Amino acid sequence: MAGAIVALSSCGQPLGEYEIEAVTLTDEAPMLEGVRAPDYGRLLKIELSSETSLTAISDQIDGVYALADFCPFSDRYYLTTFGPFSGHDADLGVPSFAEPLVRGSDGKFHYNVYIVPSHPMPGIEYHRAASARETYNLEADNRDICIRLDAPGYDIIRSESEIVRVPYEDISGALSSGS
């Protein structure tokens, strides 16, 4: 019995399923509280919706991060990603410090995730470790992006969302609108 209790207490909190609402290019994006990041100039903005409120489960998770990679999502940190933010760009990195989310007129909670379109970005001075990272270019790679929300911890079963697949056609359309 004690083993079952320990096993159950080691299960992560599911972070829900998300749907893509829009994929756009923006030159204005919020930064997480306390993060010093270069001005990348432009970012891919992924607008998501969900039945899950990250602030409603804030007593069960300490922090939430948006992670992205080209599908099938084998390297959680491959694409430089910021978020999640609320639909109004409030920082949700530490949900217990955020204002409680309110359902939109469609009955869902809304989120934004931002992805840097290439690495390295022209005109950005990188630290040595960041400079050594593998290069990517969303315009040239012709691949879908997979996004997952993750709440780190010591759980046997991770606290994470279902993977959201962003079609390359949506990415390409957004990036070409800013050319």
Q: Do the domain assignments include residue 3?
A: no
Among the residue ranges 34-38, 41-45, 75-79, 138-142, the one predicted with the least confidence is 34-38
Q: Do the domain assignments include residue 1?
A: no
Query: Which residue type, as a one-letter code, is found at position 134?
Result: E
Question: Looking up tokens 């056609």, which residue turns up?
Answer: 169
Q: Residue 8: which H helix or E strand, with range?
A: helix 2-9
Separation between Cα atoms, residue 75 and residue 58, nearest integer Å = 26
Over residues 139-172, the pLDDT tens digits come to 898 999 999 999 886 555 578 899 999 999 999 9
Domain that holds residue 105: 14-177
How many folded domains does the chain comprise? Answer: 1
Among the listed residues 69, 109, 96, the one whose alpha carbon sits nearest the alpha carbon of residue 151: 96
